[in-house]
Amino acid sequence: MMPARWPKEIIIDSFAGGGGVSTGIEKATGRPVDIAINHDLVAISMHKVNHPDTFHYCENVWDVDPREAVKGRPVGLFWLSPDCKHFSKAKGGKPVEKHIRGLAWVAVRWAATVRPRVIILENVEEFKTWGPLLEGGKSDPKKKGRTFNSFVNTLKRQGYHVEWKELRACGYGAPTIRKRFFLIARCDGLPIVWPEPTHGDPESDAVKSGKLKPWRTAAEIIDWSLPCPSIFERKRPLAENTMRRIARGIQKFVIDNPRPFIIKVNHGGKDFRGQEIDSPMQTITPKNGWGVVMPFISRQFGNSVGHSVDMPLGTITAGGGGKSQLVAAFLSKYHGEKHPGDTRGQLPDEPIRTLDTSNRFSLITSHLIKLRGTCQHGQPVTEPMPTITAAGLHVGEVRAFLLKYYGTNTGQRCDEPLQTITSKHRFGLVTVHGEKYQIVDIGMRMLEPHELFAAQGFPADYVIDRDDQGKKLSKAAQVALCGNSVPPVMAEALVRANLPELCENKPIRERVMN
């Protein structure tokens, strides 16, 4: 039985997925969504774990009878996020499935039968181009937007006022640039309200004046405690394009960047956190160690003598494992001798050995690599995350491990050409607050599901790794549900702006605790 303190109007989350919309609505209203609908069993199972008080339909949206579902109760909000892949530009010119492309028409069915007071639809920005299909399943370029206009006009004939707009999640407090199309239709005579952004570009006047908060960044969601394995010691070498992107990213975001994002390396303990280069440096541990001079990519076969890290890698061959290694002109000891002859160093013609993240290293820099799309070098972690898709793990973190550079040590100086390769002295040398550091290793790992959910703005205690029966969910399933989700902050902002009468100041979890 519905508690008396909750409004009589019910809220329905159609195409509910793993629960992004429901989470945002719950935060805005302080109550669970009444009904959630999704055809996917895995999605519904994640939704059930996190929203146990919601009534769930694991069915095709067309198989749910609106009148039977609401049981005579008035509907305050009907939210729908129909499958977007047959509108997205990421699909390219592939044929589309007509029945999936037409899922949005379910909104008209609910409008005509149970008349929700407010309807909110979320989709990709290309939703406005919804139009007829040619024979063979491709969109008719001459009739773009015709079906969309019919959809809007049909809602208007049902007595709804309709508006739409594109919004970015980073403008409302989620650390992702995700841009989406939102359509709002309401039949109660009240105006449609578009929430004002709360966050913006840190360099904008609005942020500098204090009107807006700065965008949340990718650095906030990265789990710095996770290891970032060396790209040079993988059992299976990375794809050539991936290595090219890493090389370009290192050049742009580390070597040539006057403001690289740096973090402490002794990242043990719960209080560890990164820092940006424009804040005072945190304490550098005394065990900085000595490192590599002028790292470069060296070929291990043929007549090639190697090249600098800002150049594309040569061809990666299928046999014999990784043929490109990070090599230093010399190594000097950074541990001291424990036994005679043990310098903990290595010969200058050896590939650099595995370097862990113990506190003898001074700094780590970090940036993101995108393994899909047209971006060739990734992005800094001081910007919001790129849009997370359901297709797979396509965002990785690249770390460059830095050691303090001492120009007086024995061996070749960094401001001289390498003995075997003539190269500019700046390759591999990074200046941080006037101090010189050298790149001694490069690590890369894909972001984990819990980091991606954090980037979407899900709460830290949101359950993503198991279903309502306790069965473990695969990483692929977790990522798919994350990529298909709506950032909760978007649902919260839109509901607070358009349905303030349903909202309370405290989310349900806080109310239960109090």
Give residue-wise pLDDT tens across range 139-170: 788 888 899 999 999 999 999 999 999 999 99
pLDDT score for 391: 60
Task: Return the residue matching tokens 């996770």.
Answer: 226
Given a contact cutoff of 8 angstroms between Cβ atoms, the answer to whether 110 and 95 are in contact is no
Distance CA 278, CA 203 (A): 13
Given a contact cutoff of 8 angstroms between Cβ atoms, the answer to whether 497 and 194 are in contact is yes
123-130: average pLDDT: 89
Query: What is the β-pairing status of strands 179-186 and 199-200?
Result: unpaired
Task: List all residues 6 or more positions away from 118 whose beta carbon is below 8 Å from its beta carbon.
Answer: 76, 77, 78, 184, 185, 186, 188, 498, 499
pLDDT score for 279: 33
pTM greater than 0.85: no
Res. 463: pLDDT tops 80: yes
Given a contact cutoff of 8 angstroms between Cβ atoms, the answer to whether 21 and 7 are in contact is no
pLDDT score for 28: 96
Res. 192: pLDDT tops 50: yes
Question: Among 65-79, 243-257, 352-366, 455-469, which stretch is predicted with the lowest mean pLDDT?
Answer: 352-366
Given a contact cutoff of 8 angstroms between Cβ atoms, the answer to whether 12 and 35 are in contact is yes
Distance CA 330, CA 202 (A): 41
Given a contact cutoff of 8 angstroms between Cβ atoms, the answer to whether 39 and 19 are in contact is no
Classify each residue of 203-238 as buried b or exposed e, where b means 16 or more C-beta atoms within 10 Å of its C-beta.
eeeebeeeebeebbbbbebbebeeebebbbbeeebb
Question: Among 102-111, 382-391, 467-476, which stretch is predicted with the lowest mean pLDDT?
Answer: 382-391
Grade residue 7 by pLDDT with cuts at 50, 70 and 90.
low
pLDDT tens figures, 406-415: 654 333 343 4
What would you report as the CA-atom Rg of the chain, rounded to the nearest whole angstrom?
A: 27
Res. 443: pLDDT tops 70: yes
Task: List all residues 6 or more positions away from 33 whose beta carbon is below 8 Å from its beta carbon.
Answer: 11, 12, 13, 16, 21, 22, 25, 26, 51, 54
pLDDT score for 406: 63
The DSSP secondary-structure symbol of 351 reads B
pLDDT tens figures, 281-337: 222 222 222 222 223 333 333 333 333 333 333 333 333 333 333 332 223 333 333
Res. 387: pLDDT tops 50: yes
The number of residues making up the chain comes to 514
Given a contact cutoff of 8 angstroms between Cβ atoms, the answer to whether 291 and 405 are in contact is yes
pLDDT score for 512: 40
Distance CA 214, CA 343 (A): 48
Which amino acid appears at position 404 of this protein? K
Distance CA 274, CA 381 (A): 11
Grade residue 340 by pLDDT with cuts at 50, 70 and 90.
very low
Could you report how far apart the first and last alpha carbons of the chain are, in Å?
21
Res. 268: pLDDT tops 80: no
CA–CA–CA angle 415, 368, 478 (5° rounding): 155
- Domain segments of the chain as ranges: 10-214+470-513, 224-447
Grade residue 269 by pLDDT with cuts at 50, 70 and 90.
very low
pLDDT score for 297: 34
350-375: average pLDDT: 59
Residue with more model confidence, 502 or 433: 502
Summary mean pLDDT of the chain: 74
**CATH class held by domain 10-214+470-513:** alpha beta
